Structure 1
Amino acid sequence: MLIVFSGLPGSGKTTIARTLVPHLSATYLRIDSIEQGLRDAGLSEVGKGGYQIALQLAKANLALGNSVLADCVNPLAESRLAWRQLADGLGVGLLDIEVFCGDPLEHRRRVETRQLDVPGLQAPDWQSVQNHEYQAWASPPLRLDSARLSPEQAVAVILANLPARS
Protein backbone atom coordinates (compact mmCIF):
# COMPACT_ATOMS: atom_id res chain seq x y z
CA MET A 1 0.00 0.00 0.00
CA LEU A 2 1.34 3.42 -1.01
CA ILE A 3 -0.29 6.49 0.48
CA VAL A 4 0.88 9.86 -0.83
CA PHE A 5 -0.04 13.02 1.05
CA SER A 6 0.04 16.19 -1.04
CA GLY A 7 -0.76 19.81 -0.31
CA LEU A 8 0.70 23.23 0.26
CA PRO A 9 2.92 23.95 3.26
CA GLY A 10 0.86 24.55 6.40
CA SER A 11 -2.17 22.70 5.07
CA GLY A 12 -1.97 20.02 7.77
CA LYS A 13 -0.47 17.09 5.81
CA THR A 14 2.23 16.21 8.31
CA THR A 15 -0.12 16.36 11.30
CA ILE A 16 -2.61 14.02 9.61
CA ALA A 17 0.12 11.74 8.22
CA ARG A 18 1.70 11.32 11.65
CA THR A 19 -1.70 10.54 13.14
CA LEU A 20 -2.28 7.89 10.46
CA VAL A 21 1.10 6.09 10.59
CA PRO A 22 0.45 4.09 13.79
CA HIS A 23 -2.82 2.74 12.34
CA LEU A 24 -0.91 1.22 9.40
CA SER A 25 2.55 0.45 10.79
CA ALA A 26 3.75 2.17 7.63
CA THR A 27 7.18 3.42 6.66
CA TYR A 28 6.98 7.22 6.87
CA LEU A 29 8.88 9.24 4.26
CA ARG A 30 8.89 13.00 4.71
CA ILE A 31 10.28 14.97 1.80
CA ASP A 32 11.16 17.93 4.06
CA SER A 33 13.54 15.69 6.02
CA ILE A 34 15.11 14.19 2.90
CA GLU A 35 15.58 17.58 1.25
CA GLN A 36 17.07 19.11 4.40
CA GLY A 37 19.50 16.19 4.61
CA LEU A 38 20.61 16.95 1.05
CA ARG A 39 21.05 20.65 1.94
CA ASP A 40 23.04 19.66 5.04
CA ALA A 41 25.29 17.63 2.71
CA GLY A 42 26.02 20.80 0.73
CA LEU A 43 23.56 20.56 -2.15
CA SER A 44 21.63 23.68 -3.02
CA GLU A 45 19.13 22.31 -5.57
CA VAL A 46 17.28 19.52 -3.81
CA GLY A 47 13.67 19.41 -5.04
CA LYS A 48 13.85 16.74 -7.71
CA GLY A 49 16.61 14.87 -5.86
CA GLY A 50 14.52 14.67 -2.70
CA TYR A 51 11.63 13.14 -4.60
CA GLN A 52 13.91 10.67 -6.39
CA ILE A 53 15.36 9.50 -3.08
CA ALA A 54 11.87 9.17 -1.60
CA LEU A 55 10.73 7.14 -4.61
CA GLN A 56 13.71 4.78 -4.23
CA LEU A 57 13.11 4.36 -0.50
CA ALA A 58 9.41 3.77 -1.15
CA LYS A 59 10.22 1.20 -3.84
CA ALA A 60 12.57 -0.73 -1.54
CA ASN A 61 10.03 -0.77 1.29
CA LEU A 62 7.06 -1.65 -0.90
CA ALA A 63 9.06 -4.50 -2.45
CA LEU A 64 9.53 -5.87 1.09
CA GLY A 65 5.77 -5.79 1.62
CA ASN A 66 5.77 -2.71 3.83
CA SER A 67 3.14 -0.02 3.49
CA VAL A 68 4.62 3.40 2.73
CA LEU A 69 3.29 6.83 3.54
CA ALA A 70 4.91 9.74 1.66
CA ASP A 71 4.46 13.26 3.06
CA CYS A 72 5.21 15.88 0.43
CA VAL A 73 3.88 19.00 -1.30
CA ASN A 74 3.77 16.99 -4.54
CA PRO A 75 2.74 20.04 -6.58
CA LEU A 76 3.55 18.80 -10.08
CA ALA A 77 1.82 16.33 -12.38
CA GLU A 78 5.27 14.81 -13.04
CA SER A 79 5.83 13.85 -9.40
CA ARG A 80 2.27 12.58 -8.99
CA LEU A 81 2.73 10.38 -12.06
CA ALA A 82 5.99 9.00 -10.64
CA TRP A 83 4.20 7.83 -7.48
CA ARG A 84 1.44 6.25 -9.58
CA GLN A 85 3.95 4.50 -11.84
CA LEU A 86 5.77 3.16 -8.78
CA ALA A 87 2.57 1.69 -7.32
CA ASP A 88 1.45 0.28 -10.68
CA GLY A 89 4.88 -1.21 -11.38
CA LEU A 90 4.91 -3.02 -8.05
CA GLY A 91 1.23 -3.95 -8.17
CA VAL A 92 0.39 -2.20 -4.91
CA GLY A 93 -2.58 -0.04 -4.03
CA LEU A 94 -2.20 3.73 -4.19
CA LEU A 95 -4.18 6.33 -2.31
CA ASP A 96 -3.51 9.93 -3.30
CA ILE A 97 -4.58 12.36 -0.59
CA GLU A 98 -4.66 16.10 -1.02
CA VAL A 99 -4.81 18.04 2.24
CA PHE A 100 -5.91 21.65 2.06
CA CYS A 101 -6.98 24.25 4.58
CA GLY A 102 -10.30 25.68 3.41
CA ASP A 103 -10.01 28.63 5.79
CA PRO A 104 -7.42 31.07 4.37
CA LEU A 105 -7.02 32.93 7.68
CA GLU A 106 -6.36 29.67 9.53
CA HIS A 107 -3.94 28.54 6.81
CA ARG A 108 -2.02 31.80 7.08
CA ARG A 109 -1.94 31.53 10.89
CA ARG A 110 -0.51 28.01 10.62
CA VAL A 111 2.18 29.09 8.17
CA GLU A 112 3.19 32.11 10.23
CA THR A 113 3.27 30.30 13.59
CA ARG A 114 4.60 26.94 12.42
CA GLN A 115 7.07 25.25 14.76
CA LEU A 116 9.56 23.37 12.61
CA ASP A 117 10.79 19.97 13.76
CA VAL A 118 13.41 19.45 11.04
CA PRO A 119 16.64 21.11 12.18
CA GLY A 120 17.86 23.67 9.65
CA LEU A 121 14.64 23.72 7.61
CA GLN A 122 13.59 27.21 6.58
CA ALA A 123 9.84 27.72 6.86
CA PRO A 124 8.13 29.35 3.90
CA ASP A 125 6.39 32.64 4.53
CA TRP A 126 2.73 33.20 3.66
CA GLN A 127 3.54 34.97 0.39
CA SER A 128 5.68 32.08 -0.86
CA VAL A 129 2.91 29.60 0.04
CA GLN A 130 0.42 31.69 -1.94
CA ASN A 131 2.83 31.87 -4.89
CA HIS A 132 3.75 28.17 -4.78
CA GLU A 133 3.24 26.38 -8.09
CA TYR A 134 0.53 23.76 -7.62
CA GLN A 135 -0.80 22.09 -10.74
CA ALA A 136 -4.31 20.72 -11.19
CA TRP A 137 -4.76 16.99 -10.66
CA ALA A 138 -5.29 14.71 -13.69
CA SER A 139 -7.46 12.38 -11.62
CA PRO A 140 -9.07 13.53 -8.40
CA PRO A 141 -7.37 12.58 -5.14
CA LEU A 142 -9.10 12.07 -1.81
CA ARG A 143 -9.41 15.69 -0.63
CA LEU A 144 -9.36 16.52 3.08
CA ASP A 145 -10.10 19.98 4.45
CA SER A 146 -8.02 20.30 7.61
CA ALA A 147 -10.01 23.38 8.63
CA ARG A 148 -13.13 21.20 8.94
CA LEU A 149 -11.67 17.87 10.06
CA SER A 150 -9.58 17.11 13.12
CA PRO A 151 -6.56 14.87 12.44
CA GLU A 152 -8.47 11.96 13.97
CA GLN A 153 -11.51 12.59 11.77
CA ALA A 154 -9.26 12.83 8.71
CA VAL A 155 -7.65 9.49 9.63
CA ALA A 156 -11.09 7.89 9.88
CA VAL A 157 -11.92 9.13 6.37
CA ILE A 158 -8.60 7.82 5.04
CA LEU A 159 -9.02 4.40 6.65
CA ALA A 160 -12.50 4.14 5.11
CA ASN A 161 -11.03 4.93 1.67
CA LEU A 162 -8.01 2.62 1.64
CA PRO A 163 -7.93 0.36 -1.41
CA ALA A 164 -8.00 -3.37 -0.82
CA ARG A 165 -4.55 -4.80 -0.15
CA SER A 166 -2.89 -6.61 -3.04
Structure 2
Amino acid sequence: MLIVFSGLPGTGKTTLAKSVATRLKATYLRIDTIEQAIRNADVLAGDVGRSGYFVALELALGNLRPGHTVIVDCVNPVAESRQAWADVAARANAALLNIEVICSDPQEHRRRVEQRQSDVPGLIPPSWQSVLDHDYEPWSPAPLTVDTAQLSIDQAVELILLNGAVQGVSVD
Protein backbone atom coordinates (compact mmCIF):
# COMPACT_ATOMS: atom_id res chain seq x y z
CA MET A 1 0.00 0.00 0.00
CA LEU A 2 1.08 3.56 -0.75
CA ILE A 3 0.01 6.14 1.82
CA VAL A 4 0.67 9.73 0.74
CA PHE A 5 0.51 12.50 3.34
CA SER A 6 -0.09 15.88 1.69
CA GLY A 7 -0.64 19.40 2.94
CA LEU A 8 0.95 22.74 3.59
CA PRO A 9 4.02 23.04 5.83
CA GLY A 10 3.23 23.24 9.53
CA THR A 11 0.02 21.20 9.44
CA GLY A 12 1.52 18.14 11.16
CA LYS A 13 2.23 15.92 8.15
CA THR A 14 5.66 14.81 9.28
CA THR A 15 4.57 14.00 12.82
CA LEU A 16 1.65 11.92 11.55
CA ALA A 17 3.56 10.27 8.70
CA LYS A 18 6.40 9.20 11.00
CA SER A 19 3.94 7.86 13.57
CA VAL A 20 2.04 5.84 10.99
CA ALA A 21 5.26 4.57 9.40
CA THR A 22 6.46 3.39 12.80
CA ARG A 23 3.17 1.67 13.58
CA LEU A 24 3.10 -0.07 10.18
CA LYS A 25 6.86 -0.72 10.01
CA ALA A 26 6.66 0.94 6.61
CA THR A 27 9.21 2.56 4.35
CA TYR A 28 9.17 6.30 5.03
CA LEU A 29 10.00 8.78 2.25
CA ARG A 30 10.15 12.49 3.05
CA ILE A 31 10.46 14.94 0.18
CA ASP A 32 12.18 17.55 2.39
CA THR A 33 14.98 15.08 3.18
CA ILE A 34 15.40 14.03 -0.45
CA GLU A 35 15.40 17.62 -1.71
CA GLN A 36 17.95 18.71 0.91
CA ALA A 37 20.22 15.79 -0.03
CA ILE A 38 20.03 16.92 -3.66
CA ARG A 39 20.91 20.50 -2.60
CA ASN A 40 23.79 19.23 -0.47
CA ALA A 41 25.15 17.24 -3.43
CA ASP A 42 25.52 20.56 -5.27
CA VAL A 43 24.88 18.92 -8.65
CA LEU A 44 22.10 21.14 -9.95
CA ALA A 45 22.59 24.54 -11.56
CA GLY A 46 19.27 25.81 -10.15
CA ASP A 47 16.76 24.90 -7.47
CA VAL A 48 15.74 21.28 -7.01
CA GLY A 49 12.35 21.91 -8.64
CA ARG A 50 10.53 18.61 -9.15
CA SER A 51 13.63 16.43 -8.83
CA GLY A 52 12.86 15.43 -5.23
CA TYR A 53 9.46 14.14 -6.29
CA PHE A 54 10.96 12.19 -9.20
CA VAL A 55 13.45 10.50 -6.87
CA ALA A 56 10.73 9.72 -4.32
CA LEU A 57 8.42 8.29 -7.00
CA GLU A 58 11.11 5.83 -8.09
CA LEU A 59 12.00 4.91 -4.51
CA ALA A 60 8.33 4.33 -3.75
CA LEU A 61 7.89 2.12 -6.81
CA GLY A 62 10.98 0.10 -5.92
CA ASN A 63 9.65 -0.52 -2.41
CA LEU A 64 6.03 -1.16 -3.41
CA ARG A 65 6.83 -3.83 -6.01
CA PRO A 66 8.08 -6.39 -3.47
CA GLY A 67 5.02 -5.67 -1.32
CA HIS A 68 6.29 -3.11 1.20
CA THR A 69 4.00 -0.42 2.56
CA VAL A 70 5.36 3.02 1.69
CA ILE A 71 4.59 6.26 3.51
CA VAL A 72 5.29 9.51 1.64
CA ASP A 73 5.52 12.87 3.41
CA CYS A 74 5.17 15.77 0.95
CA VAL A 75 3.28 18.97 0.21
CA ASN A 76 1.89 17.40 -2.99
CA PRO A 77 0.36 20.73 -4.03
CA VAL A 78 -0.81 20.12 -7.59
CA ALA A 79 -2.88 17.61 -9.55
CA GLU A 80 0.20 16.56 -11.55
CA SER A 81 2.09 15.31 -8.47
CA ARG A 82 -1.04 13.68 -7.05
CA GLN A 83 -1.58 11.82 -10.31
CA ALA A 84 2.05 10.70 -10.31
CA TRP A 85 1.55 8.97 -6.95
CA ALA A 86 -1.61 7.29 -8.26
CA ASP A 87 0.33 6.11 -11.31
CA VAL A 88 3.09 4.64 -9.15
CA ALA A 89 0.54 2.77 -7.01
CA ALA A 90 -1.12 1.42 -10.17
CA ARG A 91 2.23 0.34 -11.67
CA ALA A 92 3.00 -1.56 -8.47
CA ASN A 93 -0.53 -3.00 -8.13
CA ALA A 94 -0.71 -1.33 -4.71
CA ALA A 95 -3.62 0.34 -2.98
CA LEU A 96 -3.35 4.11 -2.56
CA LEU A 97 -4.51 6.10 0.46
CA ASN A 98 -4.28 9.88 0.02
CA ILE A 99 -4.36 11.90 3.21
CA GLU A 100 -4.57 15.66 3.30
CA VAL A 101 -3.38 17.06 6.60
CA ILE A 102 -4.77 20.47 7.49
CA CYS A 103 -4.72 22.76 10.50
CA SER A 104 -8.04 24.64 10.49
CA ASP A 105 -6.94 27.03 13.23
CA PRO A 106 -4.93 29.79 11.46
CA GLN A 107 -3.32 31.04 14.68
CA GLU A 108 -2.17 27.55 15.64
CA HIS A 109 -0.95 26.89 12.10
CA ARG A 110 1.05 30.12 12.12
CA ARG A 111 2.50 29.34 15.56
CA ARG A 112 3.68 25.94 14.35
CA VAL A 113 5.29 27.38 11.23
CA GLU A 114 7.02 30.21 13.10
CA GLN A 115 8.28 27.99 15.93
CA ARG A 116 9.28 25.08 13.72
CA GLN A 117 12.79 23.71 14.13
CA SER A 118 14.10 21.76 11.17
CA ASP A 119 15.21 18.20 11.86
CA VAL A 120 16.85 17.99 8.41
CA PRO A 121 20.38 19.43 8.54
CA GLY A 122 20.67 22.42 6.23
CA LEU A 123 16.95 22.73 5.56
CA ILE A 124 15.58 26.20 6.20
CA PRO A 125 11.96 26.02 7.38
CA PRO A 126 9.45 28.11 5.42
CA SER A 127 8.21 31.43 6.69
CA TRP A 128 4.53 31.99 7.45
CA GLN A 129 4.30 34.27 4.41
CA SER A 130 5.73 31.57 2.13
CA VAL A 131 3.13 29.12 3.48
CA LEU A 132 0.36 31.65 2.76
CA ASP A 133 1.76 32.25 -0.75
CA HIS A 134 2.17 28.54 -1.52
CA ASP A 135 0.48 27.32 -4.70
CA TYR A 136 -1.82 24.58 -3.39
CA GLU A 137 -4.63 23.33 -5.62
CA PRO A 138 -7.91 22.00 -4.21
CA TRP A 139 -8.30 18.22 -4.32
CA SER A 140 -10.69 16.45 -6.66
CA PRO A 141 -11.90 14.05 -5.45
CA ALA A 142 -11.32 14.92 -1.81
CA PRO A 143 -8.91 12.61 0.03
CA LEU A 144 -9.13 11.51 3.65
CA THR A 145 -8.74 14.84 5.46
CA VAL A 146 -7.18 14.97 8.91
CA ASP A 147 -7.46 18.24 10.83
CA THR A 148 -4.71 18.46 13.43
CA ALA A 149 -6.43 21.44 15.06
CA GLN A 150 -9.36 19.14 15.91
CA LEU A 151 -7.65 15.80 16.60
CA SER A 152 -4.75 14.82 18.82
CA ILE A 153 -1.85 13.04 17.16
CA ASP A 154 -3.04 9.72 18.63
CA GLN A 155 -6.60 10.27 17.40
CA ALA A 156 -5.38 11.20 13.93
CA VAL A 157 -3.10 8.16 13.73
CA GLU A 158 -5.96 5.86 14.76
CA LEU A 159 -8.24 7.41 12.12
CA ILE A 160 -5.57 6.90 9.46
CA LEU A 161 -4.86 3.32 10.51
CA LEU A 162 -8.59 2.56 10.50
CA ASN A 163 -8.86 3.88 6.94
CA GLY A 164 -5.73 1.95 5.94
CA ALA A 165 -7.13 -1.26 7.44
CA VAL A 166 -10.29 -0.79 5.40
CA GLN A 167 -8.02 -0.77 2.34
CA GLY A 168 -6.08 -3.89 3.39
CA VAL A 169 -3.09 -2.69 5.38
CA SER A 170 -2.31 -4.89 8.37
CA VAL A 171 -1.82 -2.88 11.55
CA ASP A 172 0.32 -4.28 14.35
- After TM superposition, list the pairs within 5 Å mapping 1:80-119 onto structure 2: 80-119=82-121
Structure 2: any 5+ residue segments left out of the alignment?
none
Residue 34 of structure 1 corresponds to 34
Residue 145 (structure 1) shift = 0.4
- After TM superposition, list the pairs within 5 Å mapping 1:15-164 onto structure 2: 15-42=15-42, 43=44, 44-162=46-164, 163-164=167-168
Moved over 4 A (4+): none
SS state of the match for residue 47, structure 1? coil
**Which amino acid counterpart does residue 116 of structure 1 have in structure 2?**
S
Residue 90 (structure 1) shift = 1.5
Structure 1: any 5+ residue segments left out of the alignment?
none
- Cα distance between partner residues in 2 of 1:62 and 1:54: 12
- Cα distance between partner residues in 1 of 2:128 and 2:53: 23
- Cα distance between partner residues in 2 of 1:100 and 1:27: 23
Identity of aligned residues (%): 58
Q: How many residues align?
A: 165
Taking structure 2 as the reference length, what is the TM-score of the superposition? 0.93
Residue 14 of structure 2 corresponds to 14
- Cα distance between partner residues in 2 of 1:105 and 1:142: 23
**1:29-61 deviation line (CA, Å, top 9, x unaligned):** 000000000110113321310000000000000
Taking structure 1 as the reference length, what is the TM-score of the superposition? 0.97
**Which amino acid counterpart does residue 128 of structure 1 have in structure 2?**
S
- Cα RMSD for the two superposed structures: 0.9
SS state of the match for residue 50, structure 2? helix
Residue 123 (structure 1) shift = 0.9
- Cα distance between partner residues in 1 of 2:93 and 2:142: 20
SS state of the match for residue 100, structure 2? strand
Residue 164 (structure 1) shift = 2.0
Residue 151 (structure 1) shift = 1.2
